[in-house]
């Protein structure tokens, strides 16, 4: 039996702001979406052409405040071929929330508080 990771879900408070962040910061674009007939939720799948893995963003209409992420230290990691260029973009965006120079990595934070690790591609 073989398993393949296909997506990770994040619940988001402001869908459009979140989608704009992921497109600018990581080059992810909307692949498809599903909206409830009654308008109670929208699910957007974002991805790119480098992998089949997708980020699933779920917006719930009745949510009246941002989600409390607690002290969970989970994150999604992205490898990048031009680490310096990515770092410069994220610094300009003001979304770098933690850097570990000794490990050669850093984290950015999306508008909902989720942390995303950025690592250079390693040969």
What was the pLDDT predicted at 1? 64
Neighbours of 59 (CB within 10 A): 20
Radius of gyration of the chain (CA): 15
> Residue written as tokens 């980020």?
55
pLDDT tens digits for 45-67?
Answer: 999 999 999 999 999 999 999 99
Band the pLDDT of 73: cuts 50, 70, 90: confident
Residue 76's closest CA among 24, 20, 25, 17? 25
Question: How large is the average pLDDT for residues 8-15?
Answer: 96
pLDDT category at 107 given cuts 50, 70, 90 is very high
Average pLDDT score over the chain = 93
User: Are 60 and 18 a contacting pair, CB within 8 Å?
Assistant: no
Cα-flanking dihedrals φ and ψ of residue 15, to 5°? -60, -50
| DSSP 8-state symbol, 8 | E
Tell whether the torsion through CA atoms of 98, 11, 27 and 52 is positive or negative. positive
pTM given for the model: 0.86
Q: Give domain 7-61+75-120's CATH number out of 3.10.180.10, 3.40.640.10, 2.60.40.10, 3.40.50.150.
A: 3.10.180.10
pLDDT of 29 over the 80 cut: yes
Residue 71 has pLDDT above 90, yes or no: no
Burial 83-116, CB ≥16 within 10 A → b, else e: beebbebbeeeebeeeeeeeeeebbbbbbbebbb
Hey, where are the domains in the chain?
Answer: 7-61+75-120
What is the per-residue pLDDT for 4? 83
pLDDT over 90, % of the chain: 85
The four Cα atoms 25, 29, 32, 33 give a dihedral, to 10 degrees, of 40
């Amino acid at each position: 039996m073989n398993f393949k990771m296909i997506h990770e879900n994040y619940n988001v408070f402001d869908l459009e702001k979140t989608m704009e962040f992921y497109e600018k910061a990581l080059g992810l674009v909307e692949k498809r979406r599903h909206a409830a007939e009654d308008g109670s939720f929208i699910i957007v799948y974002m991805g790119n052409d480098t992998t089949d893995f997708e980020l699933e963003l779920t917006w719930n209409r009745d949510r009246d405040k941002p989600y409390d992420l607690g002290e969970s230290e989970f994150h999604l990691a992205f490898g990048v071929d031009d680490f310096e260029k990515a770092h410069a973009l994220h610094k300009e965006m003001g979304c770098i929330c933690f850097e570990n120079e000794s490990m050669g990595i850093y984290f950015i934070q999306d508008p909902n508080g989720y942390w995303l690790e950025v690592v250079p591609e390693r040969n």
